[in-house]
């Protein structure tokens, strides 16, 4: 994956994230409530194993295939709290739309001058 790519990609296009991993991007989301587009960081997961309090695949809150976490795919926002963090599905209300995504811009060169 070329992290120097600064092109905006259509929101329906799947980011190039290897199966079993995740990567942070910048997303542009149209919010119907305000009629504006907002850009912010979000993480795309491709069958990345997440631990859930209640596994969404299991009827009793657990599933045999998810002992090491449930394979999860989609857009998420990360919420940091003290020494830990958690991921939450990207919140899109009725009429909201993921317009696009792009790689997080990188500072040119290997050091700050």
Average pLDDT of the chain to the nearest whole number: 84
| Dist. CA 95–CA 85, nearest whole Å | 29
Question: Is the pLDDT assigned to residue 105 strictly greater than 70?
Answer: yes
Confidence (pLDDT) at 110? 64
pLDDT, one tens digit per residue, over 42-51 is 999 998 888 7
- Boundaries of every domain in the chain: 9-103
Helix, coil or strand: residue 65 = helix
**Taking residues 48-57, what's their average pLDDT?**
69
Residue 61 has pLDDT above 80, yes or no: no
- Round to whole Å and give the CA distance between 85 and 11: 25
pTM: 0.79
């Amino acid at each position: 994956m070329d992290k120097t790519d600064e092109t905006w990609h259509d929101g329906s296009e799947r980011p190039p994230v290897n199966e079993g991993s995740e990567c942070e991007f910048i997303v542009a989301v149209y919010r119907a409530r305000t009629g504006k587009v907002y850009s912010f960081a979000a993480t795309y997961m491709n069958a990345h194993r997440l631990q859930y309090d209640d596994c969404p695949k299991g009827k009793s809150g657990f599933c045999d295939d998810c002992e090491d976490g449930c394979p999860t795919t989609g857009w998420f926002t990360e919420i940091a709290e003290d020494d830990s963090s958690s991921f939450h599905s990207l919140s899109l209300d009725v009429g909201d739309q993921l317009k696009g995504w792009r790689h997080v811009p990188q500072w040119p060169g290997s050091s700050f001058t």
